[in-house]
């Protein structure tokens, strides 16, 4: 099995890259302080917490004036922290694994975490509750996420939680998705 690494976006904000570098250097500095000067170690940790608070506060102000409210607040290293899949997404993903698909849970694609990603078919599956239909802001954000996935050549399929409540319906849904995935892989192979 080939190991996959997350790639950074090409249109990344240079301020975010600078913040990543500063945070990384500070973590290394704290590590060296622990071994070189243990008397002042906790003082530097407290300074770091205060500095992080000031940077996050500054980022909130910058985001507010830039008008990027729907982007979310930037947090360094967020792409490296794996979110846990919901029980419904885990259920569907395990059924798809049983059918032979290489499933990745909560994959970071440079813009968002995808509930279930099947990269060989360029297929994203989002398992959603009713709030995605009832809240207009959430529905709009979902449309934006689908657009960015489409720009990368991925198809996004949204599955409501109601289809995954009982086992029979969940298996039926997984078999139907399996059929769609096989057709998608066939189309991708024909296009090459």
Q: For residue 106, report the phi and psi dihedrals to the nearest 5 degrees.
A: 50, 50
CA of residue 4 relative to chain centroid, distance: 15
Same domain, 93 and 164: yes
Residue 50 lies in a domain: yes
- Between CA 88 and CA 8 the distance in angstroms is 29
Q: 121 and 55 share a domain?
A: no
Reported as a single tens digit per residue, the pLDDT across 11-57 is 456 666 677 777 777 777 777 777 777 777 777 778 778 877 787 77
Domain count, the chain: 2
Residues 178 and 100 in one domain: yes
CATH of the domain at 146: 3.40.960.10
pLDDT average per 10 residues of sequence, the chain (192 residues): 46 65 77 74 79 75 60 52 80 92 85 86 87 75 85 89 89 92 89 74
Instruction: Give, in order, the Cα–Cα distances in Å from 174 to each of 26, 38, 43, 156.
Output: 46, 55, 54, 15
| Residue 67 domain flag | yes
The answer to whether 105 and 93 have CB atoms below 8 angstroms apart is: yes
Give the Cα separation of 134 and 140 in Å (integer). 11
- Give pTM, 2 decimals: 0.58
Q: Which domain holds residue 100?
A: 82-191
Final residue of a structural domain among 22, 46, 78: 78
Statement to judge: residues 59 and 117 lie in one domain: no
């Amino acid at each position: 099995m080939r190991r996959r690494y997350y790639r950074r976006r090409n249109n990344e904000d240079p301020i975010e890259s600078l913040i990543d570098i500063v945070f990384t250097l500070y973590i290394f500095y704290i590590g060296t302080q622990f071994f070189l000067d243990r008397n002042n170690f906790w003082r530097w940790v407290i300074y770091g917490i205060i500095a992080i608070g000031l940077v996050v506060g500054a980022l909130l102000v910058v985001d507010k004036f830039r008008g990027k409210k729907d982007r979310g607040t930037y947090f360094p290293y967020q792409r490296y922290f794996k979110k846990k899949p919901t029980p419904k997404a885990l259920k569907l993903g395990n059924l798809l694994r049983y059918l032979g698909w290489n499933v990745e849970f909560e994959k970071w694609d440079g813009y968002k975490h995808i509930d279930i990603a099947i990269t060989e078919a360029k297929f994203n599956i989002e398992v959603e509750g009713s709030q995605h239909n009832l809240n207009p802001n959430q529905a709009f954000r979902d449309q934006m996420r689908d657009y960015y996935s489409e720009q990368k050549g991925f198809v996004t399929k949204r599955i409501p939680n109601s289809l995954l409540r009982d086992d029979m319906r969940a298996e039926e849904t997984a078999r139907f998705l399996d059929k769609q995935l096989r057709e998608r892989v066939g189309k991708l192979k024909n296009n090459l």
